[in-house]
Structure 1
Amino acid sequence: MRRAIAAAAEAGVGLVAYASFINTGTSTFRLGEEHKQTEQERRSSGLPHVLLRNGAYTEMYTGTLGPALAQGAIIGSYGDGQISGAVRADLAAAAATVLTSDDQAGQVYELGGTAFTMTALAAEVSQQTRHTITYQDLPVDLYTKVLTSAGLPEAFAGLLADTSLAATRGDWYTDSTDLRELIGRPATSPAAAVTDALRAGLSRTLDPRG
């Protein structure tokens, strides 16, 4: 990243936009540390920059519902933590607005959508599929083992589980209205994201006999 920043400075780039995480300044999970360091390097570089702090991609949850539909449960270590997720299309639209607008240097945008818990997400999936889907909260070490048993490398599984647990500390929640204001409409709701995922083919994982 330092090389990229140096190259941008040498090329005289007018504005650098960096996609980070919401609440990067106060985040507590391991994956957030890289964004903290990169944001600091951008500030130290003196380059004009804008920070696009993205909420968790809603598709991370709605686009991987196959196992939940098959097993009747969504699992994780999120507790009752609220996740201000946003779909990729909304985040891209926000970025496009920023990059085509004047006077963006120094701006920091916290880009979160309508907050949801994993319990609420499971309830929404249940309602739309007419199958009972629950949320099963696991200790972070057990969740890591489940991810590892599913084929993920142990280090990556631990990173994902740690990121999940961060929701219990508020790391994935924001009440910012930046996303709505940038795209000029309400952000795509979790319910709409579930509908889109089911239409995309996840419903085929359900037993048609009910």
Structure 2
Amino acid sequence: QHSNFRQSLNLDHNRIVHIPPSIFSQASQLTRLNLNDNAITSLVPTDLHQWKAIVELDLGANQLTNLPPEIRHFESLEVLVLTLNQLRFLPDEIAELSKLRILSVDSNQLEVLPNELSGLTSLQELNVSCNKLTTLPKSVSTLSNLKVIKASENDIREIPPELGNMYALKNLDLRDNPNLNSLPAELSLCTSLTILALENCPLHDILPDIRAGGSSMIIYFLQQVLQLRRRQTAL
């Protein structure tokens, strides 16, 4: 009977402080676990090797301040929700989650992301909105399946030009970054990019009329800047 233990377990809106280890010792086949809106402060590293079957894990709205390196044991994980916690950083080992498709770490206290994220080869959506980030790591540009980056309400001051290599990227949300003064012209090389949200960013090098024209006008402007720069370099 235990082997047929429900593959989905919903424990949201409780007052759970510690995840009961028995959940995993009894249910190695558990694939979906919802622990949203509890009072969990940490994950116990010694339990995590039993989490190998988990595909979707929702730890949103808890009190996590860090994640242990042992999260690399979540080798089946496709969806990880960490929204509304108190995370100041993510462990480098998060990049070992090669099946992860959706990573939501919005509304935390993140000041940096791990430098090396290229192991997240399946990632399609990255939500880091409402944090304290000042930039995005260059390694994001190697994520060839990444379609959506939500990075609004941070303190982003620069966007790496390497992001121009992201041919799958469709939606780049940079709204409400009060110190974002410029964009790399290379962003115009993102051939799938259709939504470029920039409200409440100063962007001193892009005229208000161009910004008022929306995503397509801004991307066109960046294309012209890039072409002009290339012509000048060729002279």
Specify if TM > 0.5. Answer: no
Q: Give the TM-score taking structure 1 as reference length.
A: 0.23
Choose 1 or 2 for highest CA Rg.
2
Structure number with higher relative contact order (C-alpha < 8 Å, ≥ 6 residues apart): 1
Q: Give the TM-score taking structure 2 as reference length.
A: 0.22
| Greater helix proportion | 1
